[in-house]
Structure 1
């Protein structure tokens, strides 16, 4: 078994035992030998140093913790055969800072490639690292200095093409430091393409020796599309043979300087442009009276140019013949005094022959000293003409004020009247000398409800002067000279001079008649024109407030629904005039029988409603019985005929359980229906568990049924052809009819569900569905549009009075692209007359688009011809009641003839409905009716899919 001494005796001699020892010691290099199997290490001696570590573990213990793993990784890589060991590390310091060492070595292997040992060297390189650090610090300071002044440096070896750039040079050329390899080509790539040729030319001249130092300003094209302006300076070094060897230089960022110079040039150009814009002659003279600057108007006025005027004395220009006494302008300029001088056209110092105004202003520097004189000369010819025109305009305004129908007056800041027109004096009953110069508010402001008028400064006109903004009041009262007050619409506007409020102008209009007209219109909007009772709209508003009171306070009310019995007998026997008189008389009687807190309203033709507020059902039944007795005892006489009536009354309690106004009306209506079904002239109180009322509710199930149909698109369209009686080919004319497609595929005609839809306000939604369906079908059927001349769509009365529906209809037609002249909208006479203003408004609005209108069921009302003048329709659809018996009833034939005649006189075509046979068609053709429609012409057909012909 070999010993440790045997092992070391077999090692090669260490270098200190050889001739290399002095050289290694001089380079501060130690040699080392390591046996991985035993971990033993042997180190050569170091002068004055401590001996090397004896084991691998102790060697690692002397390494700086931050470098230890890196050294271990390098040794293991060398042992694995991947590479030679070469690693720098720091040692743990004995004192002070760590020292740096270079460890190098390689493994020695046996014939099988196994590592026997590892030998190498270790050199102290601390001084080298310190020198590198000092160099880097110097480079950093240099780089920071360059960055501070935006100055880059560069060098180019002309012979090899190698280049070097400082970090700031990289940045100035638009590169990140180190991002590209410096070269002459990369430098040229950074130069703006428009400046590149100039740059190359200057460098070539320098390389040829034509310039010792070249300086070129050029732009750098940046990656973001911007530009940088730089000053490039360079110098060429030549070798002994005179050939260019090296090119060095700097690059300075001069962007801010270039921008400042451009801003200065722009400022001067702007000044010149602004001065040239003035029509006044503006010029600047120095302290020696020489012209140093002038605008276009100056040159035009004097006939000079910049070449002949600048630097010339202003005295020679303005007074070429001299003057015995300096003019006022020259005196002001010589005395350095700001002034404004006006010279009339005949003034001896005015050489221009027209009135002028000359301004003299001193120009002072930052130290307050005068450096030049600014002068401006203005031609007053136009100003004088403007003043004359202003005087004429003021005279015209005074004439307009005196001609105005509104009262107009003005006041100053103290409220004193400065002017007043005749209309104001007439309305106030005052004379002009009573008002001018007086505080007008104390003269005309009216007291309110016996109390003293508010302080003057609370009046609108004073608040307008305080705020500087105009104002308007519609609740002002003014007092006449006789003490009577009258309402006015009152506007006030501040007057100002030099941005300071100087007073106000007041315009007022006597609105006594307008107020009365508005009051009358409001009354008509909420009351029935025939009976004077509140109408359905006002009644529902009051009912809504009662329902809100029930929800808030728990109060109870009762709604009565009255439907007259036998009223139709009076209408049929004596006519509508008699029926109207009956309703007026009966309305007065019923109104006398209710409490003063109750409301009686007319809800329909012969239907009334009574709202009994804060009333229990027992008291409501008593009042209902009193109303029924009043109607029953009432006798109506007309032309020696006497009529007695009855009334069916339905009652519905209103409390917190009542959902809404529609529910309350529906319950009362259902109870009234049950009263009629029970034999008429009866009273029925709505009960939630009432079997008979439940039956009535069965009819009301149409509401949910129709809502479901709208939600799930269960409606469908049919069309019925309308033919001309003449047989002329005008293209197809058809009417669109809506139907309900039942769950069992049964088609339900409109007559079965439209009354319920009208009763429960579902018609606007159904009308919207029809309009959308028709327009969608026409949009998708271009072939049908060529075939179709006119397509009629029915609109209900509730849609007619719905402003939102109006807007929907206009927008939908415009968006569809369907020609508007192809569309005809049908409204019934009853709906049109009931909503006359809305009907007229809608008709006019749609006719502007090109649409046409038909008045359906015409002739059913007594006032048909009277209202016809107001309605600009294109077609009259004669009520089928006159058509179906036209073969046997001469009165019906006369009615149809009359409608046809009046229609043709007014340029309106006529359409007869209910044409059931060829015989009826022949009579209508003989009378001259234009079109016919009915089962005898064509049965309604289901609308085909989009794109298929009718």
Structure 2
């Protein structure tokens, strides 16, 4: 329980401190409110005193004007008397309005205004009378005010009486003296009452001032007491926090230090002392620059430490006492110290081992574990650098592809341990043959790369002949066996006109293969003619344009209708792709598909086409509702990649309505080269409702044999047979055979490249069910098909062979 209580103390202290702050704030707010209230009462008292002054002066002037009227009989004196008397009578009217139930504040405000009271005092007069007329001296003042009602009204009646009498004739003798005496009596009576009223108001004002002093004094005393208690608690809490901070500072497992604004160390903990292998006493007399390696201290233009940049979290190199480096993860905070400037509190965590692990991981990622040479990834990176260098600076290098001869025989006869020893020995031999600036790497298995900087093909050939000769004189002793090493070498020159790294490595591999074909243990230089080199460079440029077009959304979808024999209203088309270059020129697939497939971009293009197609059809539900079938091509590279099947499956799962209207076209060559992957792809998409068409059917030697193993739905006859069937009997027989095979297997057969009416009629006679080509309809933008109404395929010209004649 003691431990639990101790654990609760910080929270309890915080709550206690909060309550004291709240109490102090409440008292301050209360004092302000009371002060405002008392000031308002004082203002109300002043308003009453000023109002009484107006009342008394007007009453006296009214009596004097009536006396003059009595003497002179002039109507002007009577008017003056009535005007002056209206002031006290208006105040009387206001008081009576406030004493009604409920009070008529509007009438009271208008009457007080007639009584010459300031507009800003009206609310004070009304509120104070309504809520304070029965309190203390204000009660006496209210009573005295009521006593003035009868004399005021009598003065008003005397004025009316004098007006009637004087109208009949002058008043003289005893009657005039009687009026004079009565007016003087009333005037004296009202003045006495007014003096008593004023005295009551003065007493009330004095009471308000006294109350103000007492309340103010008590509030100041209370606030002072709470402030003292609060300051005491804050001081205790600060001392407690300081004690806990120091305990944490000195007992922390990470290095901590406190630095002054000039960079001198003020305090350090034991953890930092251990990390830097220096005593704490020694450290507190040092400067930060003595602890950091060169270049780690950030200085401003005046040579002072630039703390805003220095305090950015990061990793710095620290110097230990023995001069060794320690990598420390550094983070710091600047704390203002008033006139003393700033002090810096920083934390240092030792991450030296992390750096060692990172270096080790980086080494393993870029080096071969068996030979210690750089691996294929690092080879490609260095080749990219070398290629960029010759493009910028000129010159040539030489890349050599080396392949051990008969290495598999060594593994099979002597064993893999001997093969590993041979690889290590060969690697050491190559490392001993290179100059500064050259490098050696292992591509994989028994293949190596040797880079000769600033060497032409001829110079590289001389070096490699020497390597081969010395290699043939050496042997590896493995048990009782002596293993001889030989290798075949391909050399390619790295120049400014080299297309890219992939081409470079492919050329070196081709040259090495030529060396093996020529009898092994020899050097062969890659000598591709200029036209072939230009063609490769053009393909690389086309590939770059396709890549940029995909990234910039400049690939366009077109579609070509496929006519269904017997049902011209059936909507069936194949999706085709076009590319718009940076200048806005449109390019057909024949200008870039070959480069895309040769350089392994087929899957990227297929992903792009499918994504665009699905996005387009999703916003055309009416078109999808009347769509029969939409064919889309899939390359051999996509078929062989499991991630592409996952991509397609995800699209189909999210668009199940579209799946039933989709037909994937797979070329026969893609199926033959990747039969297992093709079967997996076909099964997966057919399970989701899609159909499969075998494109370019008949172009390969094994078409009919593989057809038995694939659950296709449509066969698309290779267009070359359709094009040549009128002049070539073999082509005509092939088309007829494929049509018959489709009928037998209950597969729909479609003919491509149908360019004339004669061809179309012949194909229909052979039993072909679908026709595609310029004779049917030219390709057009996909949106044109999806945004126009359904129309039959040129019924007027094709009516007979479509079954409508």
Q: Provide TM-score, normalisation by structure 2.
A: 0.43
Greater RCO between the two (CA within 8 Å, min separation 6)? 2
Q: Provide TM-score, normalisation by structure 1.
A: 0.38
The structure carrying a bigger strand percent of its residues is 1
The structure carrying a bigger helix percent of its residues is 2
